[in-house]
C-alpha cells in the first residue's frame, strides 16, 4: 500500500524543524485529503501540517483507510496494513525526532488511535473526532494501559453512522488505556462543529509540545 500526500503545508513549510511537532490530518471513509484542512483555522497557528490521502481508492476521487463491511468494524487486516502505510510515509517524510499531533475524523479517527496503539512514543497528542477503535489488540496496548496518555474524543449524540457497539467499545478502550477527555454534543450527527473545535483547541493548548 502506498500513501499519497497532498501538499497543503506550503504556507507553513518554514515552520518545520528537526524536532518540532507536526500535525497530521486523517480524513474519513469516502473522502480525501481536501476534507479536513478547513479545521486548521481553529488550531495553533505555529504548527506545520500535512493532510494524508488514504490508500484504498474507492473511485471518483474518494478514498478509505480500510474497506467498510460494517461501519465501526472494518477488517483488522486492512486497518493494520493502513497503519503500516502511514508509518512508512512518516518515516520517509518526517524527521524521526518530530512528535506527531494526530487529528482524525471517523475512520481517520480509528487511524489516529492506531498510530497511538503502535508507536506511542511518536505521538504527543491524539484527537479522535466521531471515530472508534479497532477490535483487535495492538502492540502498544499494554504500555498505554500503564502510561495513560492524554487523548480527546468528541462525538455527536445524534451520530447514526458509528454503531452503538463501536462507541461502547471505544469508550471502554479509552478509559482503560488513556486519560481521555470525552465530549458529546447534543444536536450533532456524524460531523464536526465549532463546539467540537473549541474543545479540541483547548486540549491542544494544554499539551506540552
pLDDT tens profile 175-198: 999 999 999 999 999 999 999 999
pLDDT reported for residue 208: 86
Residues of the chain with pLDDT under 50: none
Does any domain span residue 75? yes
Does any domain span residue 38? yes
pLDDT reported for residue 70: 77
Does any domain span residue 113? yes
pLDDT reported for residue 62: 94
pLDDT reported for residue 45: 83
0.85 surpassed by pTM? yes
**Separation of alpha carbons 75 and 92, rounded Å:** 26
Total domains in the fold of the chain: 1
Contacts of 16 (CB under 8 A, 6+ apart): 22, 48
Does any domain span residue 196? yes
Does any domain span residue 192? yes
Does any domain span residue 9? no
pLDDT reported for residue 2: 61
* Whole-number Cα distances in Å, 72 to 15, 68, 108, 117, 120: 36, 8, 11, 17, 22
pLDDT reported for residue 99: 96
Does any domain span residue 4? no
pLDDT reported for residue 6: 54
Q: What share of the chain is helix, strand, coil (3-state, %, to 5)?
A: 35, 25, 40
pLDDT reported for residue 69: 72
Domain with 76, as residue range(s), is 19-204
CATH number of the CATH domain containing 90: 3.40.50.1820
**The pairing of beta strand 100-105 with beta strand 179-185:** unpaired
Amino acid at each position: 500500500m502506498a500513501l499519497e500526500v497532498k501538499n497543503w503545508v506550503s504556507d507553513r513549510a518554514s515552520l518545520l524543524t528537526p524536532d518540532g511537532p507536526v500535525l497530521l490530518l486523517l480524513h474519513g471513509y469516502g473522502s480525501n485529503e481536501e476534507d479536513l484542512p478547513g479545521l486548521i483555522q481553529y488550531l495553533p497557528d505555529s504548527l506545520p501540517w500535512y493532510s494524508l490521502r488514504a490508500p484504498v481508492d474507492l473511485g471518483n476521487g474518494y478514498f478509505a483507510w480500510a474497506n467498510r463491511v460494517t461501519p465501526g468494524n472494518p477488517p483488522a487486516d486492512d486497518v493494520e496494513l493502513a497503519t503500516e502505510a502511514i508509518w512508512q510515509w512518516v518515516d520517509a517524510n518526517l524527521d524521526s525526532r518530530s512528535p506527531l499531533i494526530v487529528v482524525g475524523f471517523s475512520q481517520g479517527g480509528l487511524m489516529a488511535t492506531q498510530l497511538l496503539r503502535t508507536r506511542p512514543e511518536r505521538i504527543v497528542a491524539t484527537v479522535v473526532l466521531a471515530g472508534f477503535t479497532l477490535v483487535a489488540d495492538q502492540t502498544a496496548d499494554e504500555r498505554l494501559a500503564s502510561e495513560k496518555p492524554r487523548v480527546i474524543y468528541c462525538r455527536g449524540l445524534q451520530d447514526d453512522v458509528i454503531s452503538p457497539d463501536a462507541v461502547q467499545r471505544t469508550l471502554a478502550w479509552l478509559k482503560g488505556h488513556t486519560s481521555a477527555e470525552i465530549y458529546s454534543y447534543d444536536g450533532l450527527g456524524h460531523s464536526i462543529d465549532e463546539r467540537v473545535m473549541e474543545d479540541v483547541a483547548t486540549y491542544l493548548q494544554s499539551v506540552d509540545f
